[in-house]
Chain A
Amino acid sequence: MRIELIRRPERSSAMSLLSPIIAIVLTVITGFFIFLAIGVDPLEALYIYFIEPLTAWWTVEALLIKAAPIILIAIGLSLCYRSNNWNIGAEGQLVAGAIAGSVFPILVPEWNGPLVLPVMLLMGIAGGMLYGAIPALLKIRFGTNEILTSLMLVYVAQLFLDWLARGPWRNPEGYNFPDSREFDGWQVLPVVFGDDVRLNAIFVLIAVAVAWFVLSRTITGFQISVLGQAPRAAAFAGFSQKRMVLMTFLISGGLAGLAGICEVAGPIEMLRTSVSPGYGFTAIIVAFLGRLNPVGILFAGLLLALSYIGGEGIQIVLGVSDQITRVFQGMLLFFVLTCDTFIFYRVRFVSTRRSAAAEATP
């Protein structure tokens, strides 16, 4: 038995819609067996993981709160990946944004007026952009592999944040906890919806709309796609590869920075040693699950946020480590990437015996 891939004459539009759904179904089926293997009732576990979070309003809100940063980052990453730039350091750019945005509320806490939040947000975006520019400039100037540099900078940013939160930026009245002072008043993102869904939910909708417009209606969006799919054609058309590297890294870094400051000024309301449970990495999965398409990313982000909430639920109710979330996320990405193959290829199973016979009699 052998598996052969046969290229389709044109991409299958049915498969490009179906492939994420098939991937999700396969993930759930595999999850069933994983739960079986670790000795919990698989049906109950799957119910707690995927269904229960949707049955109460407060968990739906929690889901929206988690989805917002993931989607924001994934939108930026999708532009990178479309143009074949591999920014996998969004987690570090998120941290950089969180730090840069917190400069004023921590160092000048007395400043508490209507202007402070916009300044914080802009500083956050700038922090993420500057941090994202490092791997981009190294790639442009020296041809350094951006995958490795962007990832290494994640560790650097996290350690720097750890130092800030334990050292110079620690709240002197905080009983020695490694936290900054709590943000208050104008320094906090306003709630726009329900009990705790904040302004960043609106930013997400704007980002999705703008990304959709840019990708489908502007020359820049076209350049991004051409550079990713046919770099030589792009070179002949005079599109600057270097400018695109910098641009996509700045956009994705800026959005990750925005996500970072929105976490700090939103649900957390202070700077801590850790400000994200790996949103920057989850966003990579979301970008691919959403097929690098802004609207797809919106739905994929909600699904991955569900995986966080479900993981927490399962830890509380069944005592399974919440690390199961990462297992599910990794699996899902595997299945998505595999299913994407069927958009461009048909699979034929060839029995080895028959093909050997066919080769013998040409």
Chain B
Amino acid sequence: MTMFEGILLTIVTAATPLLFVAIGELVSERAGVLNLGVEGMMAVGAVCGFAIAHLSGSPILGIFAAILGGMIMASLFAVVTLIFVANQVASGLALTLFGLGLSALIGDAFVGIPGIGLPKIDIPGLSDIPVIGSLVFGLDPLTYLAVAITIAVSWFLFRTRGGLILRSVGDNHVSAHALGYGVVRVRFMAVLFGGACAGLGGAYLSLVYTPQWTQNMTAGRGWIALALVVFASWLPYRVMIGAVLFGGISILQLHAQGFNVPIPSQFLTMLPYLTTVIVLVLISRNRTLLRINTPACLGQPFVPDR
């Protein structure tokens, strides 16, 4: 394997967790719910995945535990914001604080234990093709899952009746309600999907990216994923592009640190965060693009009148 291939591979592994989390948040935002708790859901997913994989010896069980963990966290948020119509921004922050604390509490017993990595898929023959072989056919199964979910979400949102209902709920909840769609029910499911994806993103960190548990191992990735959704102007395929871009930047800074570039490591570590700010500024200058795609009811509470 050449070094170039190696770098491309690490970019893919850095992009995958972002893709999981961002695509889940995209669905929930398309339904009109701004869930700022992704960082917390991701952390809980990471610790659940690691703990169950360690205790059962099966990384597959760990992944399911991570999905479940993320969904339980998401359901907390959904109950508070959708049924009790609490402020979504503040509730999301609460979910992040709660999730980071809870994951650290659960993970206390698992610090320093080597984790169980997920085996990579290896298709004999195909994986041996130079350059694209390992990049297209030799990845870990979760990366394929992330891409599959992205394609499925794009198809669901723009090619199915269910997707149309979900977008109508996010764009005009009063009309959607008047047409007889259960606004709260649709949103609840969208938030749960977001939680499941965030859990998967977390599991990817603790089972594939660095198979171990450390406190705060999400390191702001949940927030970057939130920015990715804005960057992608709520379109699934652009999330994929954005995830690779941000994955690339975080890998670039790692390699730069490895090559003793004469810039202090702290400044290189800042890069993904600074890039997020710059990208957000650039994207928000294009107001028409945002106006067309931003769900009109994003973050607004809805109380059905009867």
Contact = CB atoms under 8 A, between A and B. Distances in A.
Interface of A: 3-5, 7, 38, 81, 86, 88, 138, 142-145, 147-149, 151-153, 155-156, 159-160, 162-163, 166-167, 281, 284-285, 288, 320-321, 323-331, 333-334, 337-338, 340-341, 345
Given A145-B280, A148-B276, A152-B273, A163 B267 contact: yes
A155 B270 contact: yes
Interface in B64-111: 76, 80, 83-87, 89-91, 93-102, 104-105, 108
A138 B281 CA distance: 7
Select the residue from B40, B76, B86, B220 with max chain A CB neighbours within 10 A.
B86
B87 to A, nearest CB: 6
Interface string B10-45: 000000000000000000000000001000100000
Interface of B: 36, 40, 76, 80, 83-87, 89-91, 93-102, 104-105, 108, 215, 220, 223, 226-227, 230, 264, 266-267, 269-270, 273-274, 276-277, 280-281, 284-285, 287, 290, 303, 306
Contacts of B303: 5, 7, 345
A320 B104 CA distance: 11
Given A330-B101, A333-B94, A338-B80, A156 B273 contact: yes
Contacts of B105: 38, 320-321, 323-324, 327
Contact of A3 (B83, B89, B94, B98): B83
Contacts of B273: 152-153, 155-156
A283 to B, nearest CB: 11
B98 A326 contact: yes
A341 B99 contact: no
Contact of B80 (A143, A329, A334): A334
A224 to B, nearest CB: 17
Contacts of B215: 323
Q: Is the interface of A mostly helix, strand, loop or mixed?
A: helix
18 contacts: A138-B277, A142-B281, A148-B223, A149-B277, A152-B277, A155-B270, A159-B266, A159-B270, A163-B266, A281-B93, A285-B97, A288-B90, A321-B105, A327-B101, A327-B102, A334-B91, A338-B84, A345-B85
Contacts of B290: 143
A37 B95 CA distance: 20
A303 to B, nearest CB: 15
A67 B54 CA distance: 40
A333 B93 contact: yes
A210 to B, nearest CB: 24
